[in-house]
Amino acid sequence: MLFNYAFIYDFMNIEKLQNDLQSFFKKKGHTTSTAIADLLEMPQSTVHRSLYKEHAKLTKGIIKLCNYANFDIRKYSDKDPASNKYLMEALNLVWNGTDAHAKQLSKLLMVAHSCRLNGNQNEA
């Protein structure tokens, strides 16, 4: 299952992500989109679009490259979690307002994350 990153799509610095991915693969000795495609068993055209296309969108191809490079896509987001109305509505509904309960909720979120309940980010 691929995690749905649509909620951060409009707030991503894709150009920086592309540059960082290019640098990563170059440091690993994979300097062409063909070499990267062979490494990841992806179509060369997908790799090329993912790494070099201007005004690129967050695609499964970019996500697969990020997963291989162990890049956290969220680090390229300019979106603050507090600005997500769905997340804040859920927190407002379940949080009792105390620091102790906030800590418990954060632990639950971290457990969910470690169990990959938010989608396996290592799959594409």
Q: Which domain holds residue 92?
A: 81-114
Nearest to 15 by CA among 62, 60, 47: 62
Q: Which two tokens stand for residue 12?
A: 């991503």
| Per-residue model confidence as pLDDT tens digits over 37-95 | 999 999 999 999 999 998 888 889 999 999 999 998 888 887 778 888 898 999 999 99
Q: Rounded CA gap, 56 and 52, in Å?
A: 8
Nearest to 84 by CA among 2, 5, 4, 8: 8
Q: How many structural domains is the chain composed of? A: 2
Task: Assess whether 68 and 23 both reside in one domain.
Answer: yes
Q: Rounded CA gap, 81 and 104, in Å?
A: 18
Does residue 119 form part of some domain? no
For 7, 9, 15, 63, the CA distances from 79, given in Å and listed in that order, are 9, 9, 16, 18
Q: Which two tokens stand for residue 33?
A: 């989109």
Selected residue with higher pLDDT from 122 and 50? 50
Residue 118 is predicted with a pLDDT of: 47
Does residue 120 form part of some domain? no
Does residue 121 form part of some domain? no
Residue 88: alpha-carbon gap to chain centroid: 20
Residue 116 is predicted with a pLDDT of: 59
Does residue 124 form part of some domain? no
List CB contacts of 68: < 8 A, sequence separation 6 or more.
39, 40
Residue 102 is predicted with a pLDDT of: 92
Residue 81 is predicted with a pLDDT of: 80
> Can you give the pTM of this predicted structure?
0.59
Task: Assess whether 21 and 70 both reside in one domain.
Answer: yes
| Per-residue model confidence as pLDDT tens digits over 1-49 | 344 444 444 567 889 999 999 999 999 999 999 999 999 999 999 999 9
Does residue 1 form part of some domain? no
Task: Assess whether 15 and 70 both reside in one domain.
Answer: yes
CATH code of 20's domain: 1.10.260.40
